[in-house]
Amino acid sequence: MDADTLAALARLIRAQRAAALGTVRDGLPFVSMVVYAFEPDFSAFWLHLSRLALHTQAILADPRIGLMIAEADDGAKDAQTLARVSIQSEAIVLTQTPPEYSAAKMLYLARFPEAQTMFALGDFDLYRIEPRSARFVAGFARAYNLTAGNFREAAKAE
């Protein structure tokens, strides 16, 4: 992949806050909204989910997930050309054991300081999603299959 495409992927991941989470619920695909944090090297994404939420119940029954980060639509351009990356992976709950938990919590709170109160609640956990395979649509007729290596390369882009 060329440097421009990697930089576009990095911009997309850094610029957005919300993503669409795909799970399987009652045997049907279910898409819900989540907010995400990420490791600086894009090796993992972090979700902070309540066990009371429908998507979390789906993950606890079956950890396979899809996660799409899409450019927010401000109505200015052809909607079909909005950039988006679709990750397919698993969401793995993180045990609340330092130091990994503390590091992930710090990353998450740096991005979402308003989530501090949620960390005090008993029903929330951090879930780790490692991007293994993904599809990146950078714009019209610009689609790429990504590996975990591509994410790491993109993370080096400014």
Distances (CA, A) of 146 to 81, 85, 117: 19, 9, 36
Residue of 14, 25, 51, 152 that binds a second copy (CB under 8 A): 25
Q: What is the dihedral of CA 79, 68, 102, 118, to 10 degrees?
A: 70
Question: Does residue number 37 form part of the binding site for a second copy (CB under 8 A)?
Answer: no
Rg (CA), the chain: 16
CB 37 → a second copy: shortest distance, Å? 11
Binding mask 57-96 for a second copy (x = CB under 8 A): -------xxxxx-x-xxxx--xxx-x-x-x-xx-------
CA angle 107, 45, 72 (to 5 degrees): 100
CB 152 → a second copy: shortest distance, Å? 21
Residues that bind a second copy (CB under 8 A): 16-18, 20-33, 35, 54, 64-68, 70, 72-75, 78-80, 82, 84, 86, 88-89, 112, 114, 135, 137
